[in-house]
Each structure stands twice: as structure tokens, then as C-alpha cells.
Amino acid sequence: MNQLKTIIMIMVAAVLLLAACAEPDNKVKIKTIDNVEIEKIKEMTGTYVGDNSKVNSIVQSLAGGETVKGIDLSGEEIKVTYGYEEGSEISEEQMNEYWFNGKNIDKKNFYYNAIYLTLLVPNAKGFEFTIDESTVQVTREQIEKELKEEFKDYPDVNDEEAVKQFIEKNKSKLKELASEEYQAFQ
């Protein structure tokens, strides 16, 4: 009987030790291209640059959105600055691991986000994304040119229903385009 109690106590101690060492469930993870909620952002189709809160919501719903420090919508352009903010739920270490992992995640995310902003915000003339010293700047024309070459069924961005259907039909290809061929936009 004492041996059984000892074994149970050791098992309880091991479980508690593992639980204490595990990453907390409430730790905020930075959104990657793979876990962007397409259904959520698709519903924001037809947002205009003048609607600051909706544009902000779109940007924060896209890849890296938890690290947005600021958005500037002047001149009908969407300029997003990413980085670490004191007091954020994201640690500086998490932010650095996410953005500076040596896999060009910044450029892939920037082009992915530009593709979706092109589709969702029809009056945006251009996009600028900055993290530390890395900046990517593209125009709507550059993004649309690539999308029209890639997709023969590229919709009129003013037709919200057509855009939603296009996103649903092509979400995998849009992700692939940003992830593997982001150089096409340079």
C-alpha cells in the first residue's frame, strides 16, 4: 500500500512539474499566413481607406497583426508599421523570433497582406509595410497586375460578392503566391 502511495505521489509530482514548465495557454501567438481567418477578413470586403477602424481591423486580422504599432492612411495609401510595444501581450523575444527568423517572413507577410488589402480595400492606391529597417512598398497596380496574370477570373474589386467568391475559390493559391513567389512583386 505504501508503495502504491509513493508511485501515485511521484506521478502527481511529475504532472505538476510538466504543467508548470509548459507554455501558458493564454500566451498570445502571432498570426502566421497559415492561421489567418479567411472567413473573418472576407466579411470586410468593400472597406474604404477612410474607415480607419475597419482598415485597422483588417490589418490586425492579417499575418503579424498582433505586432502592429501604427497605421497611416494618408493619401489613400495603407502604411503599416510593425514592431514591439512596451506593455504588449507579445514579448520582444516573440516578436523577434517571428519577424527575424531568417526565412524572409517579413516580405512573405507583407506581400500576403498587400494581396488581401488590394482585394478588400478597393480605394487603396498603395501599401507600405515596415518592420525595423525592412520596408516593402507596392502599388495597387503592381499587385493587380500580378493577380490578373495569375488569375483569369480576377474580380472587379468594387463587386463585394465577386471578391468574396474569388477569395473563397483561390485562398490556397493566394497564400502560395505570397509565400513562394513574393519576388514577383518586386
- Give the angle subtended at the CA of 94 by the CAs of 90 and 102, to the nearest 5°: 140
pLDDT of 17 > 70? The answer is no
Query: pTM for this one?
Result: 0.82
* 163 contacts 45 by C-beta, under 8 angstroms: yes
Q: What is the CA radius of gyration of the chain?
A: 21
Position 102 scores a pLDDT of 73
Better-scored residue on pLDDT, 19 or 147: 147
Write out pLDDT tens, residues 113-123.
Answer: 999 999 999 99
Position 27 scores a pLDDT of 62
User: What distances in angstroms separate CA 108 from CA 63, 156, 164, 172, one per listed residue?
Assistant: 9, 25, 22, 14
Contacts of 50 (CB under 8 A, 6+ apart): 73, 123
* 65 contacts 31 by C-beta, under 8 angstroms: yes
Position 26 scores a pLDDT of 46
